[in-house]
Amino acid sequence: MGQQQLLLVVLAVAVTGILFVVGIKAFGQNALQANTNAVLQDLTTVASQAQAWFRKPSMLGGGGRSFMGITMGRISAVKVNENGTCQITGVKANRITLIGTGSENVRIWMQI
């Protein structure tokens, strides 16, 4: 009877260890996906603010149908937050590139 109980204890410890490792792996994947979604939402917000600045006449402090001269400060966008960082690159008259770098090793870019 002692060997059978010892075998059950070893089996229970092994199963618990495997489930623990699987749980940690699943948590890591979930954190990565959540950070990707958060950075994408931040970039979408910056893109919306950039479009508003683009369409606003230059006499009112906007771009006057051009992205030239746009900065994160001019559109009152947050550059760094708990999700990561957002930046404007590749500025042309009719197009900009937005790059978001997440806190969970995520990098997303979009052009508008």
For 42-99, how does the pLDDT look when each residue is reduced to its tens digit (9 = 90+)? 999 999 999 999 999 999 999 999 999 999 999 999 999 999 999 999 999 999 999 9
- Name the token pair of 26: 């699943």
- C-alpha–C-alpha distance, residues 45 and 53, integer Å: 12
Among 7-11, 12-16, 29-33, 50-54, which range has the highest average pLDDT?
50-54
Residue 28: give the domain boundaries: 2-111
Cβ atoms of residues 112 and 51 within 8 Å: yes
pLDDT at 1 over 80: no
- Count up the domains in the chain and report the number: 1
pTM over the 0.85 mark: no
Question: Beta-carbon neighbour count of residue 15 at 10 Å?
Answer: 10
